[in-house]
Amino acid sequence: MSVLDDNIAKLDGYLARFRKTGILNRIAGQDAAGSEGVFQTVSPVDKSVICDVAQGAASDIDAAAQAAYAAFADWRDMPATQRRNILIRIAEGIEARAEEIALCECWDTGQAYKFMSKAALRGAENFRYFADQVVQARDGQHLKSPTLMNITTRVPIGPVGVITPWNTPFMLSTWKIAPALAAGCTVVHKPAEASPLTARLLVEIAEEAGLPPGVLNTVNGFGEAAGKALCEHPKIKAIAFVGESRTGSLITKQGADTLKRNHLELGGKNPVIVFDDADLDRALDAAIFMIYSINGERCTSSSRLLVQDSIRAAFEAKLIERVNSIKVGHPLDPETEVGPLISQEHFDKVTGYFDIAGQDGATVAAGGETVGDEGFFVRPTLFTQASNDMRIAQEEIFGPVLTSIPFSTEDEALRMANDTAYGLTAYVWTNDLTRALRFTDKLEAGMIWVNSENVRHLPTPFGGVKASGIGRDGGDWSFEFYMEQKHIGFATGQHKITRLGAL
């Protein structure tokens, strides 16, 4: 039996219970049907129905929010070391079920096992990291003044809503939920409707690890009903969202009446800038990895290649050869590098840019084709002869599609890099240190890597500027979002108090 056949057989075993019972909501430690009935989740591999999913709406969100509110005080007041131990056990539970998580995620999203086999372990790492921060999360400062001993502390903000996307759903769910739980918040999680499987696995693992009922609640459903109700609910104090910039704007509007705190991790049209003095082989490897891995379906992908014109022809020639050699195939095959796109809707969006590129005057130098007719497969695609004002250079395609744009000077590269509505990440390749310092100082991006692909370090801030979002995740920045600052001043003597109305 091949590895692919073995993975398919294992997946069938993992999915058997979902095919029988469907995926139910989980509220206050109990399974719950959806008030709107069910919807079906479909595999992008062959367009087959995976299972029914409970379709929640406002009443389901209300029940979950009430459960999170009821559980909040006890979770907040639980000794920090006890909460830490629960989070560690969640990490251990994730590691124990890493294969199940990875295979389900591949089938539900189309992501290649080559990458998803590590995603579950990254989720465990998120829980371990934030578990280690629990004890000092509420630590503050001592800010002495002439008459007062001023201290600061932090307290959890309360029940929060977490809305996660479909591209790497398990890892991104842990990236939001782990720090919320570590801070002492309770959570209502609304997963993306296109990829609900592993959200169910996460809440099961958490409860098996000893997480009290109501601390993590999962409600499936669509954004216009369940998502809207979560953003508007008065008992939900904050919303952590990962997804499209347009949806992030809508979430801000929906939470305005209840003065929601929002953390929005949104889209990107990220440049990778390659100067002629760079290590070109490493730059080529990194540029390819950051756009074609994860099917190009990630916000930090390097979807615009700005390459200096003196090396453009040679660099693009190597790029075309490599792109044409990327293996497209079944996501459960360990050799596959690019799997199918998530859905029919997204497949239509991505393939639509093949015609748009030609209409704008760009050249389809590689790919630009669909693969087969069973699932939502496309060939990795490269557009050349492009300019930065084309739609393929300005709009987030969110697929395995790279647009190559030449530049002549450092100033021109900087202008083009910043000439977009987005500002999430940027990647700079040069061996000139002073140029790197100058260039990164003026780049409009929340995260920048020099001579590197995106290498995530959990204590560092993650987030963007402009249309790419508001707020930062990672390290203490996560706690700044999920917690409220509190100042307490203690008089150190009998300082003068102005007396009003005294005779």
Residues identified as active-site: 265, 299
CA distance 178 to 89: 12
Instruction: Please report which helix (H) or strand (E) contains residue 132, including its range.
Output: helix 113-133
Instruction: Spell out a b/e string for 387-408, using b for 16 or more CB atoms within 10 Å of the CB, else e.
Output: ebebebbebbbbbbbbbbbbbe
Cβ-based neighbour number of residue 361 at 10 Å: 10
Spatial contact of 208 and 131, defined as CB atoms under 8 Å apart: no
Question: Residue 148, exposed/middle/buried by CB under 10 A (0-12, 13-18, 19+)?
Answer: middle
Pairing of strands 271-274, 49-54: unpaired
What are 173's two structure tokens?
């769910």
Spatial contact of 233 and 210, defined as CB atoms under 8 Å apart: no
Q: CA triplet 349, 47, 121: central angle to 5 degrees? A: 85
What are 450's two structure tokens?
């020099």
What are 188's two structure tokens?
């209502």
3-state secondary structure at position 234: coil
H helical segments located in 134-216: 169-183, 197-208
Given the structure tokens 């639509």, which residue do they identify?
Answer: 352
Non-local (6+) Cβ contacts of 433 within 8 A are none
Spatial CA neighbour of 42 closest among 346, 487, 343: 343
Q: Which residues pair with 304 in a beta bridge?
A: 271, 403
Non-local (6+) Cβ contacts of 47 within 8 A are 344, 374, 375, 376
Instruction: Please report which helix (H) or strand (E) contains residue 286, including its range.
Output: helix 280-292
Non-local (6+) Cβ contacts of 355 within 8 A are none
Residue-by-residue DSSP string for 63-85? HHHHHHHHHHHHHHHS-HHHHHH
What are 105's two structure tokens?
């995620």
Phi, psi of 456 (to 5 degrees): -80, 125
